[in-house]
Amino acid sequence: MKKRFLALGLAVLSAAALSLAQGGRTTVTFWYALGGSIGEQIELLVKNYNSSQDKVTIKAEFSGNYDDTLNKMRAALQAGKGYPNVVQVYDIGTRFMVDSGAVVALEDMAKKENFDISKLVSQPRNYYTVDGKMYSLPFNSSNPLLYFNANALNSSKVEQRPFYNLAQLEDTIKRLTVKDASGKTTRYGITFHADSWFIEQFGYNSGQAYCNNENGRKARATETTFNNPASVAFLEMMARLTAGGFAAPVGRDGTASLNTFVNGQAAIYVSSTANLFGATRAVGGKFPIRTSFYPFLKERNGVAIGGASLWMLKGFTETEQDGAFSFIKWMLDPATQGRWHLNTGYFPVIQGVTKTPLVQSGHSKNQNFITAIRQLETSKVNTVSAGCLMGQFTEIRTYVVSAWEEVLKGKPAKQALDEAKVKSDAALQRYNATVAR
């Protein structure tokens, strides 16, 4: 008799415990790849989400920069354990993520949860749509801008244009450069650090794809096409400007570039709109910042979005996946998008957010936040501005940046790009062979 009661008691207790556990919060692991001030904003978002409801706890972890995060995730996937539920992967990692077979397509989750993804702005949505299906959530989408030191514009009596073709940009840079009596540059016209992304965007904006098969969107990319006239003209200009003391010698260093701008040593700074908030803060009251669209060769096509997106990985329980998706849904909430936009510079990916009062008042305080949005709105929507989708993108970028540096050292631009193309194509072929295996 006693034994039976004991057993019953235990059963009741364990059932109660079980239901308590299920009634408790689901933990969802989230790896993000942005440090510094943007990282702080992400942590803030997570904190707000966690306190806004009692079903899901997002456990956020800064897993290093984009490359490091991708590496760690890859290693964890290879080991079969230790990978997060939600992970932030940069734009160029898209092909790899889809090929890995380790992700849950967002569109599938959206269908299941009756979430209407047509609310998303088309360009970011298109970027992350592969073979007709949207795979990840465009979380922090950006595009490149020209940042101007307004005081420099005034002192050099240069008018700021809303957008520039390459010839106009070169002319403006030269006019903004200040040299002393001995010919030494005291203020550079521009600080433009070497980053493949800038070449990609310049190509897209000039109507040139970066890889074949229509930027890898109509079929898998098998060849790179960055050795096009736009890239050549661009690099030739950079070589001229750097040799002539018009462009600051910052190499690949984005932080040095920002610093040069903040210290007033360069009149124009080129960067993602994501740095708008941080740059404005760093500049403080030194000078007003103005922004323009990213340049193009002759005729403006439109830029692709940059930044990163959030992916959901397979291998978690349904509760966890639902929890992860509810976090993503919350991120897409207009209020959240508005705050995120104003606190970083990334533009909202949900339609209509720009019309909300919060965002409107933010824009009236700092017009620069509108520039990226306007640039996106006025970009043509085609496979070129959809951005290149290809594997081994990280490695290929290193070849392109090396080419940039070689051109600065004197190598002819076409030659450098052609050589980089050979290496890149080999890498791409190797990747495609690996996927087939």
Within 13 A of 156's CA, how many CA atoms are on the CB side? 24
Binding mask 256-285 for other proteins (x = CB under 8 A): x--x--------------------------
**What minimum distance in Å lies between the beta carbon of 437 and other proteins?**
4
**What minimum distance in Å lies between the beta carbon of 396 and other proteins?**
10
In the bound state with other proteins, the residue whose beta carbon lies nearer, of 46 and 353, is 46
In the bound state with other proteins, the residue whose beta carbon lies nearer, of 131 and 171, is 131
Instruction: Give yes or no for a contact between 376 and 121, defined as CB atoms under 8 angstroms apart.
Output: yes
Tell me if 71 contacts other proteins by CB under 8 A.
yes
Q: Select the residue interacting with other proteins from 175, 366, 395, 415 (CB under 8 A).
A: 395
**What minimum distance in Å lies between the beta carbon of 188 and other proteins?**
13
Nearest-angstrom CA–CA distance, 293 and 311:
29
Q: What is the dihedral of CA 22, 25, 30, 36, to 10 degrees?
A: -170
Of 177, 297, 285, 185, residue with least CA distance to 233:
297
Tell me if 52 contacts other proteins by CB under 8 A.
no
Q: Which residues contact 364 (CB under 8 A, 6 or more apart)?
A: none
Tell me if 218 contacts other proteins by CB under 8 A.
no
Tell me if 184 contacts other proteins by CB under 8 A.
no
Tell me if 377 contacts other proteins by CB under 8 A.
no
**What minimum distance in Å lies between the beta carbon of 34 and other proteins?**
11
Tell me if 108 contacts other proteins by CB under 8 A.
no
Select the span of 59-67, 123-131, 153-161, 368-376 touching other proteins (CB under 8 A).
59-67
Q: Phi, psi (5° rounding) for residue 350? A: -105, 135
Q: Is 340 exposed, middle or buried (0-12, 13-18, 19+ CB in 10 A)?
A: buried
**What minimum distance in Å lies between the beta carbon of 415 and other proteins?**
14
In the bound state with other proteins, the residue whose beta carbon lies nearer, of 366 and 402, is 402
Tell me if 65 contacts other proteins by CB under 8 A.
yes
Of 346, 310, 354, 315, residue with least CA distance to 330:
310
Nearest-angstrom CA–CA distance, 327 and 324:
5
Tell me if 430 contacts other proteins by CB under 8 A.
yes
26-32 and 86-90 strand pairing: parallel
DSSP string, 248-291: ---TT-HHHHHHHHHTTSEEEEEEEGGGHHHHHHHHTTSS-EEE
Tell me if 75 contacts other proteins by CB under 8 A.
yes
Tell me if 79 contacts other proteins by CB under 8 A.
yes
**What minimum distance in Å lies between the beta carbon of 33 and other proteins?**
12
Q: Select the residue interacting with other proteins from 50, 122, 394, 415 (CB under 8 A).
A: 394
Tell me if 37 contacts other proteins by CB under 8 A.
no
SS (H, E, C) 203-230: HHHCCCCCEHHHHHCCCCCCCECCCCHH
**What minimum distance in Å lies between the beta carbon of 84 and other proteins?**
11
Compute how many residues bind other proteins; rule: CB under 8 A.
44
350: its two tokens? 């949900």
Q: What is the dihedral of CA 346, 347, 349, 354, to 10 degrees?
A: 150
**What minimum distance in Å lies between the beta carbon of 420 and other proteins?**
11
Q: Which residue, chain included where needed, has tokens 């098998």?
A: 222
Q: Select the residue interacting with other proteins from 55, 154, 409, 418 (CB under 8 A).
A: 409
Tell me if 437 contacts other proteins by CB under 8 A.
yes
Q: What are the residues binding other proteins (CB under 8 A)?
A: 35-36, 61-65, 67, 71-72, 74-79, 81-82, 96, 99-100, 102, 249, 251-253, 255-256, 259, 392, 394-395, 398, 401-402, 405-406, 409, 423, 427, 430, 434-435, 437
